[in-house]
Amino acid sequence: MFSNDYWMQAALREAEKAFELGEVPIGCVIVRDDVLIGKGHNLTEQLHDATAHAEMMAITAASAALESRYLLETTLYVTIEPCPMCAGAIVLARIPKLVFGAYDPKAGACGTLYHITEDARLNHQVHTIGGVLDRECASLVQSYFRKQRNPKSAD
């Protein structure tokens, strides 16, 4: 059985793909029975689509792989705490477990600003674990924004 760190490393590899494309470097993988069934990275700029977040891309891929809108018995790993849109999608997909890397003080909806995935008022709650490989996950995003602010010094 692979560890949370192992799968978060896979999510980081997805985030690096986003970084190379000039996207905010967030990556996501979805696992069932220790098998990767869906993966994705941010593609909002490439697709000109505000909903093309890493989690949304991975949920779409995993749903296609399982031929179901419900992703039961899965774990979603993402490098940054999901935003409200992605947290809502995780709940709607009935994903039972969420593991994320760095907390997001500006948009985090799974423990920082909101607690959407664990809100008892909703019809599904998600066991949520934050802070897995948080330094590595945060560092990649910080590098991206440093490069955006000062492109010459990032080379």
Q: pLDDT tens for residues 105-145?
A: 999 999 999 999 999 999 999 999 999 999 999 999 999 99
| Residue pair 56/89 in contact by the 8 Å Cβ criterion | yes
Helix (H), strand (E) at residue 129:
strand 127-129
**Annotated catalytic residue, options 14, 23, 55, 81:** 55
Query: What is the model's pLDDT at position 153?
Result: 60
Residue of 120, 126, 145 whose CA lies nearest to 72 = 126
Token duo for residue 101 = 């890397």
Q: What CA–CA distance (Å, rounded) separates 130 from 146? A: 24
Torsion of CA 122, 64, 38, 40, to 10 degrees: -90
- pLDDT tens for each residue of 88-116: 999 999 999 999 999 999 999 999 999 99
Averaged confidence pLDDT in the chain:
96
Residue 73 bears catalytic tag = no
**Edge-to-edge strand ranges of the sheet holding 35-41:** 35-41, 27-32, 74-80, 97-102, 127-129
- 66 Cβ partners below 8 Å, 6+ apart? 32, 37
Token duo for residue 76 = 């979603």
